[in-house]
Amino acid sequence: MNRYMDIAVNAVGSKLEAEISRVIDDAAAVGVTPLLLIGSHLPESARCLQLAAQYPQQLYATAGVHPHHADSWQADSCQQLQQLCRHPSCVAMGECGLDFDRNYSSRDNQLAAFEAQLALAAELHLPVLMHQREAHEDFLAILRRYRAALPAALLHCFTGNQQQLDDYQALDLYLGITGWVCDERRGQTLADVVPQIAANRLVLETDSPYLLPRSMRPKPKSGRNEPQYLPHIAQYVATLRQEPLSQLADQCYQNSLRLFGLAPL
């Protein structure tokens, strides 16, 4: 059986949280373990860490403030986040970044919160898990100031074009590929560049419960994405890259462990 790590699961606050034991078991049954729970604001990050502590080695977590929640960033947020990052289940800071598509928080607050989190991650020598939508140039400008001080950096749910890929690979970013690539309506640009992603920087994720792969047949009755569907994404990516599934799966699994400083189970 191929091994996988799902590096982006939005369990807390979704219907997956109440069923987390089943979600873990269903994923493990198809080789997907461990799972990484993503924190998008401080209280949610604390809950992710609490949940991860209940399932050691099966769950890990991040701690951070998503750009949608950047308006909640306060003078003491950095100190609170630092404490969360010291939790033994925390393997990265994030999800942090910029989102000028929806602008749920002001641009100024997004820029300030992103930079503060990168600075803290550099101080703590933590990897970062980042988000970027419609903010490529500003994102690059801030990240360039801190990249050399970060042990590793991941742009999760990468959906960009060739120029964006070139810019991110110049900064030695890991790039997370989701079921977005399986959508023939909006994922074609991503499908075109997936073969150009450096093999040692490619990682896989579901971003569940969102982004259920459109190409799945049959589709789950719930309509929700889950970590157990990660092998479907892997097969799709392997086909695009014209690689054997076993080779791609092993490469992405090893990349994920290296990114977060984890030992194989």
Q: Across-strand partners of 177?
A: 204
Q: Across-strand partners of 4?
A: 32
Cβ–Cβ under 8 Å, residues 66 and 40: yes
pLDDT band at 76 (very low <50, low <70, confident <90, very high): very high
Q: Across-strand partners of 90?
A: 61
Helix (H, G, I), strand (E, B) or coil at 242: coil
Rounded CA gap, 188 and 172, in Å? 24
- Residues 215-261 have pLDDT tens digits of 999 999 899 999 999 999 999 999 999 999 999 999 999 999 999 99
Please report, for residues 66, 177, 188, 194, 251, the alpha-carbon distance to residue 181 in angstroms, rounded to integers and kept in the order given. 23, 7, 7, 9, 18
Q: Across-strand partners of 154?
A: 129, 174
The residue type found at 19 is E
The contacts of residue 66 (CB under 8 Å, 6+ apart) are 40, 41, 95, 96, 97, 99, 131
- Residues 152-206 have pLDDT tens digits of 999 999 999 999 999 999 999 999 999 999 998 888 999 999 999 999 999 999 9
pTM beyond 0.85: the answer is yes
Q: Across-strand partners of 163?
A: none
Rounded CA gap, 112 and 110, in Å? 5
Please report, for residues 59, 73, 134, 182, the alpha-carbon distance to residue 141 in angstroms, rounded to integers and kept in the order given. 33, 21, 14, 30
Domains within the chain, CATH numbers bracketed: 4-35+43-260 (3.20.20.140)
Helix (H, G, I), strand (E, B) or coil at 67: helix
